[in-house]
């Protein structure tokens, strides 16, 4: 693994994504941008339409779809268990533990992962990455919302809040249209394409805006724990789980890269919406994003060989 290969991989695949996030960062510094409102626009409008559009046009064989979904669920479940165990051993409070579990479970598979997979491995890998992202988005908008709600509410109240998550309805509707082979009117399809096409750039801008609001958390060991779980432990778990799931070729490249992403910026949206320790969540997102080129670049070179 030569230095030239590492630098070339970083410049061609990671740097374009970081540039757009940097634009959001400087916009956040220069102007008073309400990131909560922007996050809500993404959460309630752009993200559901992106998931709907991706599901509607995904043509992977059923066996490959089941394998990718199963792998993603196994990674997320394993990370939740590891984070919960380590958090309990560290004696974290309920709110702090909730923040660590959330950021450990849910990587930035959309606005960071999808363009990175596309740049590095092309359209075939992107189909698998899309399904990984959709699985992540559905889980985030169900289990993630449930976990975030449990920071303050009991299980029944948290479960009732799931009915207000629009991505769930987008998944159901896309599934029904796929099964019945109903075609949308051209005007509607084009509107959805436009909105879905703007979702990822807007998410990258939001990432930069959120990082511009960054305030260092008082609990540095907890921040390091959350970032370390995402950047170090999750890729190792992914590599181990790829063996029993029999991942090969483009499926292996896409799924392993998605599992190694830093913490999702949408975690900050949930943290704000459900009144968790938003400074801690933002700190974990910030640090894991900042350090991610150090772990993702060698992983890209490894997966490309």
- pLDDT for 107 equals 94
How far is Cα 78 from Cα 88, in angstroms, rounded to an integer? 15
Taking residue 138's Cβ as centre, other Cβ atoms within 10 Å add up to 20
Residues 190-212: tens digit of each pLDDT:
999 999 888 888 878 887 887 77
CA dist list (Å): 53 to 139, 146, 173, 178: 17, 25, 11, 11
- pLDDT for 143 equals 79
- pLDDT for 180 equals 81
- pLDDT for 238 equals 96
Domain boundaries, the chain: 3-304
Domain covering 3-304: architecture: Up-down Bundle (1.20)
Task: Give the closest residue to 24 by CA, choosing from 213, 268, 193.
Answer: 213
- pLDDT for 48 equals 86
How far is Cα 44 from Cα 292, in angstroms, rounded to an integer? 28
- pLDDT for 244 equals 95
Q: What is Dmax (Cα atoms) for the chain?
A: 55
- pLDDT for 78 equals 96
CA dist list (Å): 238 to 87, 124, 174, 232, 254: 21, 20, 28, 10, 11
- pLDDT for 300 equals 93
Q: Which residues of the chain have pLDDT under 50?
A: 158
- pLDDT for 215 equals 65
Task: With H, G, I as helix, E, B as strand and everything else as coil, classify residue 107.
Answer: strand
């Amino acid at each position: 693994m030569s230095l030239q290969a590492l630098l070339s991989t970083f410049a061609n695949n990671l740097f374009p994504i970081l540039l757009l996030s940097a634009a959001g960062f400087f916009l956040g510094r220069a102007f008073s941008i309400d990131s909560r409102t922007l996050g809500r626009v993404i959460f309630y409008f752009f993200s559901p339409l992106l998931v709907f559009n991706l599901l509607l046009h995904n043509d992977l064989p059923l066996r490959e779809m089941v394998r990718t979904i199963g792998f993603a669920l196994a990674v997320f479940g394993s990370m939740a268990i590891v984070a919960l165990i380590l958090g309990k051993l560290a004696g974290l409070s309920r709110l702090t533990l909730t923040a660590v579990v959330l950021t450990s479970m849910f990587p930035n598979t959309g606005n960071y992962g999808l363009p990175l997979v596309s740049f590095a491995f092309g359209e075939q890998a992107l189909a698998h990455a899309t399904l990984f992202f959709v699985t992540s988005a559905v889980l985030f908008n169900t289990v993630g919302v449930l976990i975030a709600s449990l920071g303050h509410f009991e299980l029944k109240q948290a479960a009732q809040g799931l009915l207000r998550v629009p991505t769930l309805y987008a998944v159901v509707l896309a599934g029904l249209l796929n099964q019945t082979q109903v075609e949308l009117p051209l005007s509607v399809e084009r509107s959805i394409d436009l909105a879905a096409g703007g979702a990822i750039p807007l998410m990258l801008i939001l990432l930069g805006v959120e990082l511009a609001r960054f305030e260092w958390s008082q609990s540095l060991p907890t921040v390091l724990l959350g970032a370390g779980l995402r950047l170090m432990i999750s890729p190792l778990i992914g590599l181990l789980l790829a063996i029993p799931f029999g991942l090969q070729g483009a499926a292996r490249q896409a799924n392993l890269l998605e599992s190694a992403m830093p913490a999702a910026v949408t975690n900050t949206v949930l943290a704000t919406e459900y009144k968790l320790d938003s400074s801690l969540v933002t700190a974990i997102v910030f640090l894991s994003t900042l350090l991610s080129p150090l772990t993702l670049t060698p992983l890209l070179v490894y997966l490309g060989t």
